[in-house]
Structure 1
Amino acid sequence: MQRTPLGSRHRITTAGFSILAFLLLCGLSIASMVIGGGDIGIPESIRFLLDGGGDSHLTMVMVDLRLPRTLVALLAGAALGLAGCLLQSATRNPLAETGLLGVNAGAALGVVAGITFLATDGALAVLGFALLGAFTASGAVLLIAAGSRARLSPLRLILAGVALSATFRGLSSFILMSSAATYDSYRFWVLGSLSGVTLEQVVWVGPALGVGVVITVLLTRPLGALGLGDDVASALGHSPKRTRAYTTIAVTLLTGAAVSLCGPIGFLGLLAPFAARALVGPRLGAQLALSAVAGAAIMIVADLGARLVLAPYEAPVSVLLAAVGGPLLILIVRSSRMLSLRVPGGAA
């Protein structure tokens, strides 16, 4: 009896997971289009998807409301899943989350400062403020972490991110305390929601997402080598400092774009990579691909829950994710097996 080589079995398993994940994502996307908390039922939504017919109200709900938020759920979820996987791989820390680099806090400060000092709170303006704040925060983290001749280590990155996050949150709180009007506009964004997003906003952040994905693809081999240790990565011709710097840029582009669209969504950057590692093991390329799919799927499920749990009102997506992410984080912390990042060859 001929045995299947181990590598072939891995490829078959990955291909099987990829097909199942793609089918699941298609099913969830359709569910996101046909299920909602308004007066448009599932039968009317399905008929619209099949033949495109219907009155102006149905068209408005399907095209102007449900389609943009479905696209944003797919793009933002995939971006946060990729960013979380990149960050955990670069820092070799399975609990690393996208908020660690100060991107979320920087985006929040950008929104607060823009609304307060420029007196504008339109959707595209908030989007621009959040992106600018995210990029500024990430640049500051890189400058601080690489401020000396010492190499850009994971610890230096995380410490710089945590320090700047605390500073940005303090500045945001100070501005909010002095401006009630700013707080009224900011509090809806900071809760995290996909309600009210438009196709124009998706087009706005498209370039940032595209560049982030391209950098991610180019980082697959260097990050895989980095998982074996800095010395091994250097021996294989990959600079650990340069790899972590490019990783930070990719994480900023992906997270900044996602946060600017739907607010600071927590735990998704932790949940998606954890699910990917559990399914495909230590292979970084498969982890990245499945993290993107898992992030998109989790975001769509959370958005569906947000629409239905308090119907006809909406619950914040970030609250539902926190309700799931909190217990899972406790489970990971209490499990020594889950708390390790396995890499090929057995290195942790």
Structure 2
Amino acid sequence: MVVASLAFGSRVVSWPDVVAGVLHPDPENIAQAAVHSRIPRTVLGLLVGAALGLAGAVMQGLTRNPLADPGILGVNAGASLFVVLGIAWLGLSSLEEYIWLAFAGAALAALLVYTIGSMGREGATPLKLALAGAATTAALGSMVSMVLLTRTDVLDTFRFWQVGSLGRADFAQIGEVVPFLLVGAVLAVASARGLDALALGDDLAVGLGQRTGLVRALGATAAVLLAGSATAIAGPIAFVGLVMPHLARTFTGPSHRWLLPYSAAFGAALLVGADVVGRIVTRPQDLEVGIMTALLGAPVFIAIIRRQKVREL
């Protein structure tokens, strides 16, 4: 997928030019310059896809819900609301200006969902978290629609971020979110054993010596950092966090020790591959990767569900 991402686009580049464009590009050679310009986009696709795949696996393990993805904690809705407010009230117009607003909105929305889901005698149960996430997402989505309906000028700026895209990637922006992605990945891997125990139910997990509250807090923090960072820099991209953990389970089984890295690898491959297909089918224009993941991910997910009859984790 990486090689294809460097070679294909509005201009198809030969293998020698791909190698030269990566190692020592000649500014006078158009093909090599094209390869060099695609490197940030490819790196961003790998990072965002891996983060979303990893976040999806963690969220499904936390909630024991096979339909969980970054949207279940309100990440996409929170980021979208803060971006809309930043464009409408602060006059922001570029990714560099609202990336931190998007990240803050994603984190605060997820914190709100966890707080609501933790209320009551039983604490943060999978069902309560799922219901709180659905309700919060609906409420925040309504607020986004309210702003867009009253400020149509905001829509022109917002829609380029909302659709999900890798086309405006650069290493300065990538460097801003990499620390959050690394911390989120470390926390996700650290929660693997606890997620295996949660799959047996809270009572058995406690009996095995797991502190279920700590495991959920650790996993939720990892998911927020991963999905929030990915959403902030690339926009809300669907189906990667939903589909890839299911595909990974066909190779690894339920053990999160293997499921998490496989989900990250498959997520990176899917997102970069979807970006390549989006560049080819509408050449010389680009079809945004958020559209392509939905078109490619939905049939794959339906096939997995029909074959395995996935109902619960």
**Quick check: which has more Rg, 1 or 2?**
1
Alignment of 1:245-284 (within 5 A): 245-284=217-256
1:48–1:54 CA contact under 8 A, matched in 2: no
How far off its partner does 1:137 sit? 0.4
Corresponding residue number in structure 1 for 2:4: 31
TM-score (norm 2): 0.94
Could you tell me which amino acid in structure 2 is paired with residue 76 of structure 1? V
Once residues 51 and 251 of structure 1 are traced to their aligned partners in structure 2, the CA distance between those partners, rounded to angstroms, is 38
1:332–1:339 CA contact under 8 A, matched in 2: no
Corresponding residue number in structure 1 for 2:195: 223
How far off its partner does 1:88 sit? 0.9
Once residues 334 and 292 of structure 1 are traced to their aligned partners in structure 2, the CA distance between those partners, rounded to angstroms, is 23
Could you tell me which amino acid in structure 1 is paired with residue 34 of structure 2? V
Corresponding residue number in structure 1 for 2:291: 319
Once residues 57 and 185 of structure 1 are traced to their aligned partners in structure 2, the CA distance between those partners, rounded to angstroms, is 31
Corresponding residue number in structure 2 for 1:73: 45
Change (3 A) 1:120 1:60: farther
Identity %: 38
Change (3 A) 1:177 1:100: same
* Worse overlay, 269-278 or 237-246: 237-246
Two-structure CA RMSD over aligned residues (Å): 1.9
Change (3 A) 1:39 1:228: closer
Once residues 260 and 37 of structure 1 are traced to their aligned partners in structure 2, the CA distance between those partners, rounded to angstroms, is 27
What SS is found at the alignment partner of 2:220?
helix
Corresponding residue number in structure 1 for 2:145: 173
Structure 2 portions without partners, runs of 5+: none
1:35–1:41 CA contact under 8 A, matched in 2: no
Once residues 139 and 71 of structure 1 are traced to their aligned partners in structure 2, the CA distance between those partners, rounded to angstroms, is 29
Once residues 261 and 56 of structure 1 are traced to their aligned partners in structure 2, the CA distance between those partners, rounded to angstroms, is 30
Alignment of 1:102-113 (within 5 A): 102-113=74-85
How far off its partner does 1:39 sit? 7.2
How far off its partner does 1:34 sit? 2.2
Change (3 A) 1:113 1:41: farther
What SS is found at the alignment partner of 1:52?
coil
Once residues 255 and 13 of structure 2 are traced to their aligned partners in structure 1, the CA distance between those partners, rounded to angstroms, is 44
Q: Which residue, 179, 184, 195 being the options, matches 1:207?
A: 179
2:18–2:32 CA contact under 8 A, matched in 1: no
How many residues are treated as equivalent by the alignment? 313
* 1:122 has 2:122 as partner: no
Runs of 4+ in 1 over 4 A off after TM superposition: 39-43, 56-60
Corresponding residue number in structure 2 for 1:97: 69
TM-score (norm 1): 0.85
* 1:49 has 2:29 as partner: no
